[in-house]
Structure 1
Amino acid sequence: MKHIHTILKHKSSESIFMTLFLALPLFTLLPMGIDLFLPALNDIQTFFLGDNSVAKFAISIYLLFWGIGQMFWGRISDIIGRRNVALIGLVVFSLASYLISKITQDNATQFLVFRALQSFGGSACFAAIFAIIRDTFDGVKLGRAYSYLNGSLAIIPVSAPLIGAFILQTNSWQYVFTLFSIIGLCSIVWTYLFTAETLVKSKEDDILEKQSTLEAYKSVVTNKSFVLYLSLTLVGFLGFMFFLTVAPLYLIGHLGLSKVSFGWMFMLIAFVFMIGSFTVPLIVEKIGIKNTVSIGIVFYTLGGVLIFALSSFGIWQTYVLPMAIIAAGCTIFVSACPAFALEDFKENAGTASGLFSALNFGLSSMGATYLASIISLDSSRDISYIYIVIGTLVILTYFLYSFYKNKNIAK
């Protein structure tokens, strides 16, 4: 078995595709916990006697612990290894999924607790794959690897909501979580057999290991490039998180869109995300990171203006085009920025990548939940106001980014 892992590690170091393929469960399982589950939100709301908060928190709590978990597991992976952390997380994910599938109608709080545990376990895999990529690649290849990871991630939302909708036509929402537990068990076997350990210990690593957790994270958050590119990713991602939170409840619950139609609509938006993720590295190489981010600003602003202009129609068709444009802008931020944020952390990759993802997913999910709580989910105009606010935040962050970059050039 050790010999197999040595061979696989060698092959993955030469190929981004091989690295992603051998670590397939590490980046597919956690997003599947959202996308396959999205069409079931209204059924869950009905199951818990129409409690709207349960449905909303089912998404936001999952995203919050997606972030918190990566901050925890990222540091642990720097000590015990990427593969070991992933295996532990998969066990937790599978167990939590099974417990959710057996939940009763009077246990809404327990449902949310198990949902948080499910995400916390799955986040170990996400922390592991980010660290594996940082361990394996450098320079231009590192940027491509993160972008291709995002593109591969987008394959899940392209297909999962539609698959979930078809599953729910003949099964209850609990069956989705039974399926999660089975997939989780299969992922344990896959990871044990095929995922090689990429953490290589050195004398410098021994020194880093002796750092307190606080010191390790302090070294990351005081890095200016990390903070700069995290901020761009965060405000860009907030719009997509808000969409994930409100879209099923507004489009299915208020406008009466069928689950299958919602799946097709979500597939279109996710397809934009996927294509963008694979093309962004080429754009960065040709015109540079600053100009690439500028294009993202244009897409984000245009989408925000359109969603506001079309909101008075109150039909789902007017929601698709603006969200696809916003998704294109979001893709640019999410694909272009992580490699620049993490390029200084070769030895501390788990801690840095875990913190990056934790803050990105944690803060954006909390922000999306708060924004969803202060508006009426029956009002398309209220939803459009939120995108105007988010678009303004994106523009302000870009001006701060430009000021910092120009200041550095002047030096």
Structure 2
Amino acid sequence: MDLPLLLAAVERGDDIPVFEFLEDVFLDDVAYGELTGEDGVTLLAAAAYAGRHDVVDRLVGQGVDPTRPWAGGVDPVTWAAETGACWTLTALLSPERDPLRADSPHRRALRVARAALDRGAGAGPVPPPAHRAVITDLEARLGVHRTPDELMARALVHADPEHDDWLASLVRIAAPESQERFDWARDVAEGAADAGSLDRRRFALDVIHFLGFGLNPANGDDEPPFTREAVEFLRPRLDTEQDPYALRTVVAAFTGYCSQEEIPAVLAHADHPDPGVRHCVALTFPGLLTDRPAALAALLRLADDPAPLTRTSALNALTRCPVDTPALRDVLAAHLTDPHFDARLEAAAALALRGDERGTPVLDEIRRGIRNRSSRGAGRLEDLHHQLNAR
């Protein structure tokens, strides 16, 4: 193990070298011994301190002991709960199979997080520590019931849709996927609109969106019983919602609930000034019928979007779009030199699927940089291989 190289990669937020090392580690008994020894614990601690929870999860999953103290005698679970590192804590607790036993690390973590929240530990940093998310997640695992109003109150303390407190409350409310929860969210959204409470409206719309994810496995593949009510509630808001974040949620939720024939209603926002809204529209393809001239024209505009994520999603949609025209191929070819890696890859893939060799040099270059399944672009090239074979 080249520990200094891996530590440097973690510090700069580059997970790929670590993931590539983990892909190869079981082929090397010496490297595996280092991983499960002191060096592995050092790397785990560095990833946790750097907020690289995906790396923490992979390290724990491949044998690094999450119970061994870090340098200075730091207990990993206590540190994560104390600092409100929600996702890192989840990764550290993942091997634990019995959270309900009296001495489980889950119960200890819950006590630590509650105490930290009570005394305001970590107050002031940006973003604030996610103690409420930790508590929400652990309470759910331990069978502690909280009402939707209590969970929403936790989310609205910071009122930041990007914060883990917001997400944890969303997941807990939406997991039952019940008519009762939909009615609650609709009532909150309508009441918030009347009262001018933007944060409450955003949160309630997010709940309606999450309720369509099928988080309750007991419901199987059946659509939620409130599907048509959701469509009828969301459709007029495509025209009236002015807040960009709320509009993104309305677009995403509407396209999740509505029939394919209703999806073109979102096209009015393909040129919205907010990049997040445009991205949500791009994600509706190829479910959006691209044999409609207006839909295809919107998709091609989004493929030239200034926001890398938006144009990548649009270019990806073109890999599955049945339409093939010279103008469409010209758009794809123009992105073979796109400065964004994923956009280049999607443009080359879309050309390859149309039998156009102009994408081959880009695909070859990406292929040469692949060491294993964790290398950048490896998964997408594997998908493309299957798509080409299925033609």
| Higher RCO (C-alpha under 8 Å, 6+ residues apart) | 1
TM more than 0.5: no
- Give TM-score, length-normalised by structure 1: 0.26
Question: Which structure has the larger Rg?
Answer: 2
The structure with the greater share of residues assigned to helix is 1
